[in-house]
Amino acid sequence: SQQGEEDPQALSIQEGENATMNCSYKTSINNLQWYRQNSGRGLVHLILIRSNEREKHSGRLRVTLDTSKKSSSLLITASRAADTASYFCATVAGYSSASKIIFGSGTRLSIRP
């Protein structure tokens, strides 16, 4: 079963607007990661936030983590058409190299030109 649930499942916004996606999870985590998937392709790692961090930035990406609520959000500012993709959160529960990385249900983001 999936560890994370994401909302919204689908999001369509105008180019230039900000896009916010949320992820909730159930168990304790070591870190939480966000990945992007273009249609029919593999996933690309975007950003990682550790359980002792609350906010992280990378370019136009901003990730927050609230471990008390077991939730995270991904904000993409000043969206571009090329940001159209599916975005997945992934949680890592353990600390060993064999720790499973479990993916959320994903948000399909469409940017309208």
Partner 1 sequence: GAVVSQHPSRVICKSGTSVKIECRSLDFQATTMFWYRQFPKQSLMLMATSNEGSKATYEQGVEKDKFLINHASLTLSTLTVTSAHPEDSSFYICSALGQGILGANVLTFGAGSRLTVL
What residues make contact with partner 1 under the rule CB under 8 A? 2, 30-31, 33, 35, 40-45, 48, 50, 88, 90, 92, 97-106, 108
Residue with smaller CB distance to partner 1, 16 or 56: 56
Residue with smaller CB distance to partner 1, 49 or 76: 49
Residue with smaller CB distance to partner 1, 41 or 112: 41
Which secondary-structure segment (H or E) carries 21? strand 19-24
* Residues facing 104 on adjacent strands: none
Please, which residues have CB within 8 angstroms of residue 12's CB and are 6 or more apart in sequence? 109, 110, 111, 112
